[in-house]
Amino acid sequence: MTIKVTPHLVQLAYEAALKSFWRKESLRKFLRQAHVAEAHLATWSPDESKRNFLDRTFAALQRSDKGKAVIGKMAFFLAEQTTFPDLRNWEDSAEKIQDASKAVTELKTLIARQSEEIRSEREREAAKAKAREEREAVQRERASLAELMQRLNELAPQMGTAPGGYAFQDWFYDLLNFTEIEHRRPYSTGGRQIDGSLTVDGTTYLIELKFTANQVGSPDIDIFRSKVESKADNTMGLFVSMAGYSSVAVKEASGKKTTLLLLDASHIYLVLTGGMPCIDVVRRVRRHASQTGESLLPVASFGG
């Protein structure tokens, strides 16, 4: 337990020590247990009263941090008392024990109040630290998203070119790395090139990336669907076309038990502007597809 050695606590500890021990040897034993130095205890002459010795002891202890720590230990030990063996068998034992109990109760009450204040202060400091960490995390995220956005904007002149397509592919997986979504980079299987995959909520999505100048048409949808449907039952497809999709392509991708989700530039920029985490964008479109059979949910309709 942490104890603040304030003047008030020193006074209460002094009173509790004075009233809890009637015999000098009992008080000396207690002070020794509280780590008062033997050299100091040796200065207690037979003709010096308990009160005078405690006056000297507490005055000396308050001169250093080490001494204040000893006072704190003494206060803790004194506050733990529930009986007072040294005050028994005196003619006025009842009065002595009553005085000692009162002194110990006052000390215990102060220590309890201090503990509550310290706990509250720690909680406030912990809350401040957490808020500071969250602000710093948001700032780091914004800086990283801004960098990713700048890189994507710089790729715009290459849209529709083979080098631009490969650069966009690398950029997209840097985005997934940043968002910490479980994924796999491009690979080939059964003679077919797959642009990669990601996993959200236990569902694996094959990825098809298009960085073309024109909208994706139904032939691209048909080819991608055949790749997806040749895999396990829990596999779906995530098509990302920065130029969007023709109405025919959207209709072709949608339908009862559709296996495809369609994302366009508006979904990507929603992530880059901090409007919604990438994983939540996938979840939102997936929920819409499950409820309606429509593979595309425009960002403008996310609130609906």
Condensed to tens digits (0 to 9), the pLDDT of residues 205-230 reads 999 999 999 999 999 999 999 999 88
- DSSP-based three-state secondary structure for 270: helix
Beta strands 260-263 and 235-241 are: parallel
CA distance 72 to 36: 12
Q: Starting from the edge strand earliest in sequence, which strands make up the sheet with 197-200, in order? A: 183-184, 197-200, 203-210, 235-241, 260-263
- Say if residues 115 and 1 touch (Cβ distance below 8 Å): yes
CA distance 103 to 49: 20
CA distance 34 to 47: 23
What value does the mean pLDDT take over residues 112-121?
87
What are the residue boundaries of the structural domains of the chain, listed by start?
7-120, 159-301
pLDDT bin (cut points 50, 70, 90) of residue 139 is low
Q: Exposure of 208 by Cβ count < 10 A (0-12 exposed, 13-18 middle, 19+ buried)?
A: buried
What value does the mean pLDDT take over residues 127-145?
72
Sequence-separated (6 or more) residues with CB below 8 Å from residue 246: 215, 216, 217, 218
CA distance 241 to 209: 6
CA distance 27 to 238: 80
- DSSP code of residue 216: B
Structure tokens at 182: 């479980």
pLDDT bin (cut points 50, 70, 90) of residue 140 is low
CA distance 37 to 49: 19
Whole-structure pTM over 0.85, yes or no? no
Structure tokens at 163: 């080098």
Structure tokens at 14: 């002094």
The answer to whether residue 52 scores a pLDDT higher than 60 is yes
Q: Which residue has the tokens 């995959």?
A: 197
For the segment(s) 159-301, the CATH number from 3.40.1350.10, 3.40.50.800, 3.40.630.30, 3.50.50.60 is 3.40.1350.10
**How big, in percent rounded to 5, are the helix, strand and coil portions of the chain?**
60, 10, 25
- Say if residues 122 and 1 touch (Cβ distance below 8 Å): no
- DSSP-based three-state secondary structure for 157: helix
Q: DSSP strand E in 74-172: where?
A: none
Phi–psi pair at 293, nearest 5 degrees: 85, 0
pLDDT of residue 124: 85
Neighbours of 161 (CB within 10 A): 14
pLDDT bin (cut points 50, 70, 90) of residue 142 is low
Q: Tell me which of 191 and 98 has the higher pLDDT.
A: 98
